[in-house]
Amino acid sequence: MYKNNTKNCKFIEAELGEYNYCDFLTEENAKKAKRFIETLEEYESTPLVSLDALASRFGVQKVYVKDESKRMGLNAFKGVGVLYGVARLICDRFDLDIEKIGFNDLMAPELNSKIQELVFIAATDGNHGKGLSWILSKLGCKCHIYMPKNSTEARVKAIENYGATVTVTDGNYDDTLRIVIEKAAENDWIHVQDQAWEGYTKVTNLISEGYTIIADEALGQMQEDGSEKPTHIILQAGAGSFAFGILGYFANVFKESKPYMVLAEPENADCYYQSVTNGEYTVVTGELETIMAGLSVGEANFVAWETLRTIVEGYASCSDSISARGMRILSSPIGDDTRIISGESGALGFGLLSMLCQSNDYEDIKNQMKIDENSVVLLISTEGDTDPKVYEDVIWNGGYGTEI
Ligand SMILES: Cc1ncc(COP(=O)(O)O)c(C=O)c1O
């Protein structure tokens, strides 16, 4: 097993056996989900930015960054998954077929008055709660959101603005989730969570299925640009439900010729890295301290883990400075490249690529991953400046380290 501990990053490469393809993260299901989401007026594909000047500086063929800050006015990708998850739950409850309805059908007065009787709850470190409260405010449903201690005011406000009741707890994300599980059971509220555990997988799988829309859009956009497929995909992970949707899709579409896949996590919340290192599912505990609020999760989605560990080769446990570097480079492009506003959790995958291509300390890992002049690298910037204060601190003040 290849391992490399270098400056600001620990890397391990898993030995993959037979791929465990996930039967619902398919191109067909992505198209089905997309057909429904397209009926929402806010929906349009987010841009896939080809950073050509940067690619030549990095010595690779292509660097594609999908900019999810442009997703449905939410400044982050999460709304796609949660919208699809909620829509499917409502379909189940009222015996509707997602393939035959559009969003407006859920707003028809008779049905909508019944939908409005439903009360929802979730734990979040920000973006999931924002996506959920957004869709529930459109539908007219009540929503209770619980957030970990140290959640910034900007993130709390962003959710309250959609009419949700927000409670900040004394615990970390995983503690907050346990509180929500109890509250949901006590009050018979509908729990919509982007995290799975024994007995709770259905909704999370639907959310990951919703994320396949992003993968399907990205592949179509790359192909329009003349690239057949990515050779490498580097994604950031918290619980891993997002990576599950995206990488599960690419593994299903390309099977044995799938891209080389990498998961990047914050060093204090690196549950995938630890699980691969230990050869078994491992929970990370403690404060999970990191600027990457969306990735501050110590317990991997165990359904996602079962697939990801068979298709993802590389696992990187990264310091905050890697994400901060990614944010800064995306914010100040070279040549004719487009500027991308990418937040702390959005820029980690890109930050890691920049280290691989620019730091001598990373040369060996880069060679192991076979990143070279033929590489077509896909990254997803999953959020914009969802916390404007932190964003400014990083970009203007060099917050969280500048050394490489
Ligand atoms: C901006 C951003 N990127 C990535 C993630 C990671 O998603 P997941 O927890 O499904 O791995 C999150 C999760 O909240 C997020 O907010």
Whether 7 sits among the annotated catalytic residues: the reply is no
Phi, psi values for residue 242, rounded to 5° = -65, -55
The pLDDT of residue 256: 95
What does each C-alpha distance from 101 to 32, 37, 91, 104, 238 come to in angstroms?
11, 10, 9, 8, 32
- Choose, from 67, 125, 216, 320, the residue flagged as catalytic: 125
Dig out the tokens for 29 from the structure.
């299901």
Question: Whole-angstrom Cα distance, residue 357 to residue 64?
Answer: 15
% of the chain at pLDDT higher than 70: 99
- The model's pLDDT over 37-82, given as tens digits with 9 standing for 90+, comes to 999 999 999 999 999 999 999 999 999 999 999 999 999 999 999 9
Q: Closest ligand 1 atom, CA of 242?
A: 10
- What mean pLDDT do residues 285-299 have? 93
Q: Ligand 1 center to residue 294 CA distance, Å?
A: 5
Compute the mean pLDDT over every residue in the chain, rounded to the nearest whole number: 97
Q: Which of 10, 34, 78, 130 is catalytic?
A: 78
**Ligand 1 nearest atom to the CA of residue 244, by list position:** 10
The residue whose CA has the least distance to atom 15 of ligand 1 is: 294
Note the pLDDT of residue 403: 67
Q: How many CB atoms are located within 10 Å of the residue 207 CB?
A: 31
- Overall pTM > 0.85: yes
Segment 313-327 shows an average pLDDT of 98
Instruction: Write down how long the chain is.
Output: 404
Q: Is 290 in the pocket of ligand 1 (CB under 6 A)?
A: no
Domains and CATH numbers, the chain: 3-75+203-397 (3.40.50.1100), 78-201 (3.40.50.1100)
Is residue 114 annotated as a catalytic residue, yes or no?
A: no
The confidence band for 147, taking pLDDT boundaries of 50, 70 and 90, is: very high
Percent of the chain with pLDDT over 90: 96
Q: How many whole angstroms from 110 Cα to the centroid of ligand 1?
A: 35
What is the Cα–Cα distance from 276 to 180, expressed in whole angstroms? 29
pLDDT at 157: 96
- Edge-first strand order for the sheet with 142-147 is 165-168, 142-147, 119-123, 190-191
Residue 46's pLDDT is 98
**Half-sphere exposure of residue 174, counting CA atoms within 13 Å on the CB side?**
19
pLDDT in tens, 162-194: 999 999 999 999 899 999 999 999 999 999 999
- Listing DSSP states for 52-92 in one string gives HHHHHHHTSSEEEEEEGGGSTTTTBTHHHHHHHHHHHHHHH
